[in-house]
Chains A and B, each alone.
Chain A
Amino acid sequence: MESVLQYLIVSVALFAIGVYGLIAKRNALRLLFSIEIIANSAILNLVVFSRYLAVASVTGRVFAIFSIALLAAEAAVGLSLILTAYRIRKDIDVLEMREMRG
């Protein structure tokens, strides 16, 4: 038996792990990992609902492909931001990046 629910529960678990990482971690790279995990749980949702709810529709899959490409762009820019921050500060601890605090 295969139901929507089991996939959605995996997706919720991944989402919760990602949110935990976003809150608790102080290394900028780990924050990027958390964002990737959260985004992947969202993509899993898109594919699951495309498979189960729509009648022979590919919309969910097309959206999933678009989101994967978007995430690739996001990762490239995010990683180069981290590289720049490292070059300027020699550290990527987000708790110590407070120059822009008012």
Chain B
Amino acid sequence: MFLRSLAIQGSWNYRTMIGGGFAFTLLPVLRAIHRDRPDALHDALDRHRQIFNSHPYLVGVALGAVARLESEGVDPDVIDRFKSAVRGSLGSLGDGLVWAGWRPVCALAALVLLYAGTPWWVAVTTFLIAFNAGHLALRGWGFHIGYHYGLSVAAQLRRAHVTDTSGVLSAVGAVLLGTLLPLLIAAAPPDPAAALPWLGAAVLACVVGLRWGNRVRTPAVLALFGAAALALVARVLA
């Protein structure tokens, strides 16, 4: 089930989200439980392919719990209500912990290493090992507490201080981003003899980014396209 969970988002769609993947991942367990009862197996698969969503690294919490509940013969309505109750939490907890926490922290660490002059393979390997140590540990932990605690897994999630961990990662990310900024600014000047205007432009770009946040992405990309297009047109006309 753990290996199958690595592909749980394989059939992601706007109707059932990871519903199809959930049934796919749970299939071996359901087969074992309903070994001589094909109708019960089909019913269970029908139920579990319905709409469900979760962060992929925390879906083990739901999978482990559901595997346990199914093996104990718990009423299907109870299982469905459990899934509906946890899916929002597993999504938002995972988004804050991983997409807005662990992943950008690891990416920033790799970028700092690269821009500080470390060989590329060191930065890339460091990123992959560090990130996936956390990734796989989180998946395994999710399965463990899901199967161990079943219906009461929500209380365990609260006790695990996931939100606190997200806060710490967010703080670390801010420090790493701050560390990266001078390295990027120093990389901007093409000619040390004429560095000042470039450094000034880079510092200004940095201040604009810090002030306007993610909204700066589209204008920055358009400005890059515009500057490149202008230079090319000027060259062609000259």
Q: Do A and B bind each other?
A: no
| Chain A residues proximal to chain B, CB less than 8 Å | none
